[in-house]
A and B are shown apart, each in its own frame.
Chain A
Amino acid sequence: QQQVKQSPQSLIVQKGGISIINCAYENTAFDYFPWYQQFPGKGPALLIAIRPDVSEKKEGRFTISFNKSAKQFSLHIMDSQPGDSATYFCAARVDSGSARQLTFGSGTQLTVLP
């Protein structure tokens, strides 16, 4: 299966709070898991990515947690800010060969209240 399931569909947090978005996958051949941030009218922008040989990756306020046995990964946004309000997509890819398509989740619309 190529599907990546993402939850929740929408999320509202207070400024300074922690935002958590979850994704699950079925294809064990996936070996690259990026998160994208998309603002209205813009294309997705790469936020952070992880490979399955590590369980956690942190970049500033953004952390990916990865559970290979459960085939799940999540994005944590610490100290959430109103400027973080956007749609977030998880994705997965088989990172080998000449064709490396991304399979996206359905997206999470995050609203951070001031």
Chain B
Amino acid sequence: DAGVTQSPTHLIKTRGQQVTLRCSPKSGHDTVSWYQQALGQGPQFIFQYYEEEERQRGNFPDRFSGHQFPNYSSELNVNALLLGDSALYLCASMKYSEAFFGQGTRLTVV
């Protein structure tokens, strides 16, 4: 059983560009959350998707948007990239209580 998979693993973008990150949840999991982890910090909640709808959102600007597909996979889109958006972006999937994380996408904005 594959766990949570994220793509790409690493990404370098220029300030002002747009980026799309992808996540495939663990088999049977219907809820996907996205987190941003800055270097040396704990993950910060961006938003959560369930039944293809955004259910809850953390303190992130509208430049951060997402989508969940009928197969439960998800995308995170970030527009107008800033240098401060450089971080590890983590996807977590869950069915009931336990959240399982992917290996993350390391985004570097230059």
Chain A residues within CB distance 8 Å of chain B: 6, 32, 34, 36, 41-46, 49, 89, 91, 95, 98-107
Contacts and interface: CB of A to CB of B under 8 A. Distances in A.
Nearest to A36: B101
Contact of A105 (B42, B45, B56, B102): B42
A101 B101 contact: no
Interface of B: 4, 31, 33, 35, 40-45, 48, 50, 55-56, 58, 90, 92, 94, 97-104
Contacts of B31: 100
Contacts, number: 58
Contacts of A106: 41-42
Given A42-B103, A46-B98, A102 B43 contact: yes
A43 B90 contact: yes
